[in-house]
Amino acid sequence: MSDTEQPIHPRKLEIVEAAVACFLENGYHQTGVRDIAAKAGVSLGNLYNHFKGKEGVLAFIAQIEGAELAGFIAALSDPADPRAAIEQFIEGYAAYVSLPENALLGVEILTEATRNPAIANVFAENRDRLIDALAHCLEVGARSGAFASFNDTRAVACVFLDALEGHGLRSLSLKNEDHTTSKALKSFLINGLRC
Amino acid sequence: MSDTEQPIHPRKLEIVEAAVACFLENGYHQTGVRDIAAKAGVSLGNLYNHFKGKEGVLAFIAQIEGAELAGFIAALSDPADPRAAIEQFIEGYAAYVSLPENALLGVEILTEATRNPAIANVFAENRDRLIDALAHCLEVGARSGAFASFNDTRAVACVFLDALEGHGLRSLSLKNEDHTTSKALKSFLINGLRC
Amino acid sequence: MSDTEQPIHPRKLEIVEAAVACFLENGYHQTGVRDIAAKAGVSLGNLYNHFKGKEGVLAFIAQIEGAELAGFIAALSDPADPRAAIEQFIEGYAAYVSLPENALLGVEILTEATRNPAIANVFAENRDRLIDALAHCLEVGARSGAFASFNDTRAVACVFLDALEGHGLRSLSLKNEDHTTSKALKSFLINGLRC
Amino acid sequence: MSDTEQPIHPRKLEIVEAAVACFLENGYHQTGVRDIAAKAGVSLGNLYNHFKGKEGVLAFIAQIEGAELAGFIAALSDPADPRAAIEQFIEGYAAYVSLPENALLGVEILTEATRNPAIANVFAENRDRLIDALAHCLEVGARSGAFASFNDTRAVACVFLDALEGHGLRSLSLKNEDHTTSKALKSFLINGLRC
DNA sequence: TATGAATGAGAGTTCATTCAT
DNA sequence: TATGAATGAACTCTCATTCAT
């Protein structure tokens, strides 16, 4: 967000990594600050030198998760071939969001966000930028005749994200990979764009 | 499920109602057993006469949530007009799943399910029955020429549920109702069924 | 104690048996009234129709334990052959007191007695009668020249009980039977009586 | 045992002292962790920084109790005059084990040990070393002609400890000091060693 | 007698956080 | 930065007991 980013202390990253591991294994609320510090090999007090607290750690993770969307956004902006761009996005984002670690962290962040404005903001902002990029790509494609033309491209973009993320979340309860549903979802979304 | 169900003690229902209210307001982990008991107007110890514990309460809620799907399932089974049935389901399920209380409880149950087999089972079972009913309806519609014919109707049914539930979940972070996205989603899904 | 003993309700005995089983398995304090009632197949409330409470159950057990000493006492009173009587007592009491169930219950009762006068009384009374009988036997034997003559036969009787019971208690921590120590103890005690 | 013992935090000792006082006054199970912390003038949470829990405190006490046996053990090893060493041991150990605080703690630890392997180990280990030392002394005495020669000196050592500890335990229920029994016990044990 | 729902104090333990070193 | 002892409120759950039925 800001260009005045100061270099991040390596210890801070170690703590975040440890926190992610803990959250994935036991969930956000089941994880204690002690657990994080222990797994990071850091003293309990020192964790508070790097973060505002447990919540601060989660907010930082949400920030990072958001940064990981930058790749998708970049690929969708100014696409040479909108249809290919969309298809690649669907493929890639479905894979990204179905990774257990991403799905699990996402839902932990989501639930926390409903009660925590600070985290909710980070979350919403990230998502907004992704929707913009996707909507932009849909518009470009519509202009070039590659897709049908939609009144509200942002709404369609939302539908795509909802569907893909809904799918990712469900993959949490289904331990086994279900490729058939995944394929069905992708083709369903792409078919929905035809003129 | 079973016909040998013994009548449920009214106090048990009072406790569940109180728990739902608490969970919605503050979240599962932020809610203490004492909070539930207090809101239910029941002594702390007595709560444990009716439930195995906090987790037991959530499991019971999951069971109830599942029972609420029975209406949708019934409407999808043996449909006179498959297309109308599907459309009504989409409309109704989107509304159901976008109600904050349902969405919030659903995500709480989902996260808990990833760590708690007992709850996961209830959850998975309910969903499975809904998918069956939806897939069945798609098949009937395909045979009557109302829909396109799909290789794997369960997969398509999954796509529908994923999309609708994904939409419901997202409505959590967006406090304002967004009807336009909701409408876009519905028409997108229905369009996807055309021959 | 009293000759006006009314017949004991069979349910009462079932409860006592269940309580003994629970105490042996988990200890007095680790056993809940619920556990006892459950194991006895009796409702929780009904247990309080038969006993004054958890403590009442233990007091009753202490009483029964005391009654079991009656056999030893009888054999020591008015002995034809004091030496044989003593030897048989040592043999029998060592066996009795080394039975894990007796040892364990004994120590539970003992600890409880240090803080609970009611139980302490039952306990002390039982022991007193046993010491009397043993001392009496020692006196008879001394008069007949079978044993050495002691100034304070009750003190010697105490020594015998202390040693035997101490041995029984220790058998608690040593899971394996140690017959060699047991034999050594017996011969040591008997040797101590020689003129 | 080990020379690599790190220095014990003084607060830890304060807590142990408080715990001992509480256990003596009210018994192990009747004492709450809060009581210990309060008596030690320590916050509840901090107690858990120093001990694994209530059980951990008891285990530590058991360890200390064991260490107190070191004096007896030292006096029995390599004795100039075995008879005098034994007599002094009997005298001293009888006094030690009849101190209400030692007897009470001992029996609390004993009962807990029957259900708690960790504590049982500490307990058994301590006792074993004491038996070894006593048996050793008996052997030395037998060789020098001071005592009768026993086949199994460890068994005789056990008899001594059983008798002395049994005596100590019983002194719990008898609030008044009974010196006569105590004297009878000692002379009985010593007489048992004569050739 | 017999039942089990109801009570609420109390259990042991963990929590996120602070702060003197 | 880094440490870990210190805090005390909060946690879930169990307890022995009572009482209306």
What secondary structure, in 3-state letters, does chain A show?
Answer: CCCCCCCCCHHHHHHHHHHHHHHHHHCCCCCCHHHHHHHHCCCHHHHHHHCCCHHHHHHHHHHHHHHHCHHHHHHHCCCCCHHHHHHHHHHHHHHHHHCHHHHHHHHHHHHHHHHCHHHHHHHHHHHHHHHHHHHHHHHHHHHCCCCCCCCCHHHHHHHHHHHHHHHHHHHHHCCCCCHHHHHHHHHHHHHCCCC
| Residue B3 pLDDT > 50 | no
The answer to whether the beta carbon of residue B55 comes closer than 7 angstroms to any atom of strand F is yes
Q: Is C114 exposed, middle or buried (0-12, 13-18, 19+ CB in 10 A)?
A: buried
pLDDT at C39: 97
Q: What is the pLDDT of residues D105-152, one digit of tens each?
A: 998 888 888 888 888 888 888 889 999 999 999 999 999 999 999 989
3-state DSSP assignment of residue C120:
helix
Q: Which residue has the tokens 């007489």?
A: D191
Interface residues 132-171 of C with strand F (CB < 7 Å): none
Confidence bin at B100 (pLDDT 50/70/90): confident
pLDDT at C2: 45
Measured CA distances, C82 to C93, C96, C195 (Å): 16, 20, 14
Q: What are phi and psi of A75, to 5 degrees?
A: -65, -25
pLDDT at D7: 80
More confident residue, C171 or D96: D96
CATH number, domain C65-191, options 2.30.33.40, 1.10.600.10, 1.10.357.10, 1.20.140.10: 1.10.357.10
| Record: contact D115-C173, CB cut-off 8 A | no
| Residue D47 pLDDT > 80 | yes
pLDDT at B180: 84
B123 CA, F1 C1': Å apart: 47
Q: What percent of chain C has pLDDT over 90?
A: 63
Give the separation between CA B191 and CA A152, rounded to whole angstroms.
Answer: 16
pLDDT at D115: 83
Touch D-B: 3+ C-beta pairs under 8 A = no
| Residue D43 pLDDT > 80 | yes
Q: Give the CA angle between residues C168, D95, C115 to the nearest 5°.
A: 60
More confident residue, C179 or D72: D72
Give the separation between CA A112 and CA A53, rounded to whole angstroms.
Answer: 14
* Interval A6-33 mean pLDDT: 92
Q: What does the mean pLDDT of chain C come to?
A: 90
| Record: contact B162-A183, CB cut-off 8 A | no
Closest CA to B172 of B96, B92, B91, B99: B99
pLDDT at D2: 45
Whether residue D163 lies within 8 A of chain C, CB to CB, comes out as: yes
**pTM, rounded to two decimals:** 0.88
CATH of domain B61-191: 1.10.357.10
pLDDT at D125: 87
Q: What percent of chain B has pLDDT over 90?
A: 67
Other C-beta atoms lying within 10 Å of the C-beta of residue C134: 26
| Residue A3 pLDDT > 50 | no
**Where are the domain boundaries for CATH 1.10.10.60 in chain A?**
10-51
Third-level CATH fold of A62-191: Tetracycline Repressor; domain 2 (1.10.357)
Q: What is the pLDDT of residues B57-93, one digit of tens each?
A: 999 999 999 899 999 999 999 999 999 999 999 999 9
Other C-beta atoms lying within 10 Å of the C-beta of residue D13: 14
Q: Which of residues 45-104 of B touch A (CB under 8 A)?
A: 104
**Where are the domain boundaries for CATH 1.10.357.10 in chain A?**
62-191
Sequence-distant (6+) residues with CB within 8 A of A78 are none
Nucleotide nearest to B48 (CA to C1'): F13
- H or E element that contains A78: none
| Residue A2 pLDDT > 60 | no
CATH of domain D10-51: 1.10.10.60
Give the separation between CA D190 and CA C15, rounded to whole angstroms.
Answer: 47
Give the separation between CA A54 and CA A15, rounded to whole angstroms.
Answer: 11
pLDDT at B1: 45
